[in-house]
Amino acid sequence: MSRTRENTKMLGKLSVIVLGMFAFGYALVPLYNAICEMTGINILALGDKQIPGASSTQAANTQVDKTRSITVEFDANSRGPWHFKPAQRSLTVHPGELTTVMYEFQNVQDRAMSAQAIPSYAPRQSAAHFNKLECFCFTQYTLAPGEKKQWPVAFVIDTKLPKDVTTITLSYTFFEVGGKVPVAPAGFQSTSVVKPLTPPGSDTGAKGS
């Protein structure tokens, strides 16, 4: 009986604490409004109204060089029976500006396949200044027969890109994993080293369809 009373008392104390916390949460709103009226400052709106020159939008990236514009062209090379292309052929960006483009792929074979892409750049000196934050070339993919995929490429061109470079071509060569790794197209610089994955049970290269 004594233990039951103790439990009842404890439950009562906990209930009072919960109700007190609930009431305190509601009391914060009028308390905040009273402080704002007394001081004439709305703390939550400082970014919009009270700070000179401030804006409610995110601050602009000060690393973007808006004095220069670079045309980036997108190319796709297929080494096999599949469809592979960029969603757009070119766009204009500023050095330091984060940009995302999409590439489209479809396995048109009647069998599953594992594949990967190798990026290449032209002119060659642009390779060291083309920084990819996200790229499907980082991973090997397995696609079912007829499966379609869209992959993003997020990149930033270094502001230290030589001034005489005004156009960069990004080319991807998509090949089946397990086969011979293709070389970069003529005039391009490839910066990726790919280790082909040999499918289990095979001796050399990928199995044919």
Per the CB < 8 A criterion, the answer to whether 105 and 148 are in contact is yes
pLDDT value for 24 = 59
- Which of 9-19 are b and which e, b meaning 16 or more Cβ less than 10 Å from the residue's Cβ? eeeeeeeeeee
pLDDT per position in the chain (209 positions), as tens?
567 777 777 777 777 776 666 665 555 556 545 554 554 444 444 433 343 443 334 444 558 999 999 999 999 887 677 889 999 999 999 999 999 999 999 999 899 988 888 899 999 999 999 999 999 888 888 999 999 999 999 999 999 999 999 999 999 988 888 755 445 455 555 554 444 333 334 443 333 33
Cis previous bond, 123, omega within 30: yes
For residue 55, the model assigns a pLDDT of 38
- Tell which residue, 70, 186, 184, 187, has the closest CA to residue 123: 187
